[in-house]
Amino acid sequence: MTMDDLFSESAERALEQNAPLAVRMRPRTLDEFVGQTHVIGPGTVLRAAIEADALTSLILYGPAGSGKTSLARIIAGMTRAHFAELSAVDSGVKDVRAAIGAARDRLKLEGRRTIVFIDEIHRFNRSQQDALLHAVEDRLIVLVGATTENPFFEVNAPLISRSRVVELKPLDDEDIRGILGVALTDRERGLRLPATLSPEAEERIVVTSGGDARAALTTLELAASIAERDADGVAHVSGSVVDDVTRTRSLTYDRVGDVHYDVVSAFIKSMRGSDPDAAVYWLARMAYGGEDPKFIARRMLIFASEDVGMADPDGLLVAHAAFKAAESVGWPECRITLAHAAIYLALAPKSNAVIRAIDTALAEVERGAARSVPDHLRDRHRPGADEYPPYRYPHDYPGGRVDQRYLPEGLESGAFWDPEDRLPDGHKP
């Protein structure tokens, strides 16, 4: 071994010793990998491909701390192929082409494949992604991309079609507890000082991590560093210490990605299902994640006509008031008005007769006959209007109503508006 090799090995050990707990605790083998049994557990296709070193291009998609980078590093340790790593944050088309060129030379001269791992691949623009396309298609490289964003929206369709998308889920509570247990007992890679974790502290870390292993380990490391130590130097991490180092919970909410749409969908469906508790919970999830209050209010404005409609016309007024409050008062005060509107709409009677009426009318206009305005309803200010049949002014009749045709020929009353038993009597014909 040369002096350069000794120096390099010493430097690597020093870096490892000073690395954060979350980095030191990264799994080194598939057996150490926690969670994701649906894609990497025994008997799965992906695990078999990794173990057989027969991996094809894939895109790992999942929230932060779910194990995307760790899985890529396990692949690097198990494959006989050359493993090259790029970050979409600081790599451009030139770097991509250089990696592909090196892979081509390696395949020609050594007969050795190249796996290219690209972290945060969603940050690559279209031209950068296009630079990968032919190399992936010709299998000059095996692409392993990692992203927290839905690849079907953020990655070019041709690249998606040549890769397998693997979705990773947030780790469950038991997964996080297991990781914390290993960090407390593994003297090689775990905490550098002996520590204990009270049940309350463990529960608090599990809850605040939101299924993110990296967040859980970071919290544990910081809490252990400030916890009181006994005479033997053991740090005793209590629930209050965990509270001191993490005041907010880590919940996945990206405002533009899948979680955003999932939470909004749950909010709408909870109001539609007349569950005020669920409606307020999902409202709180959106607010906690930094959602624009006006966006939430707009969704309720739509809901007020789409799902409450004429069953309770006041719902639209309440939703509009909530929007004006979000617009003029702002956060945090408007949280009360938003909750007021969400609870009101959840408890309100429901009818979608309005949306059925307008959608049926639009379909008739689009596909039906070209129908003329009845002569007695035509504008009276044009020349020759005196020849039109007389229009009967409703206010000249008892109750302000008069029986005359308002629909064009070929359409009859009830063609679009279909009142239901759920509507108040005053809104039925």
Checking if the pLDDT of 215 tops 60, the result is yes
Mutual angle of helices 258-272 and 293-303, in 10-degree steps: 40
Helix, strand or coil, per DSSP, at residue 215: helix
Cα–Cα distance list, 336 to 50, 105, 326 (Å):
52, 64, 10
pLDDT the model gives residue 255? 47
| pLDDT bucket at 17, cuts 50 / 70 / 90 | low
Q: What domains are there in the chain, each with its CATH number?
A: 35-167 (3.40.50.300), 173-245 (1.10.8.60), 258-347 (1.20.272.10), 374-427 (no CATH)
pLDDT the model gives residue 415? 79
DSSP code of 329? T
Checking if the pLDDT of 338 tops 90, the result is yes
| pLDDT bucket at 11, cuts 50 / 70 / 90 | low
Checking if the pLDDT of 179 tops 90, the result is yes
As given in the structure block, the two tokens for residue 281 are 């919970």
pTM: 0.58
Checking if the pLDDT of 304 tops 60, the result is yes
Phi-psi region of 264 (alpha: psi -120 to 50; beta: other; left: phi over 0): alpha
Q: How high does pLDDT run on average in the chain?
A: 85
Checking if the pLDDT of 117 tops 50, the result is yes
The C-alpha torsion from 46 through 50 and 56 to 57, rounded to 10°, is: 80
Average of pLDDT values for 180-190? Answer: 91
Q: How far apart are CA 411 and CA 71, in angstroms?
A: 63
DSSP result, 262-308: HHHHHHHHHHHTT-HHHHHHHHHHHHHTT--HHHHHHHHHHHIIIII
Checking if the pLDDT of 206 tops 60, the result is yes
Residue owning tokens 């130097």: 233
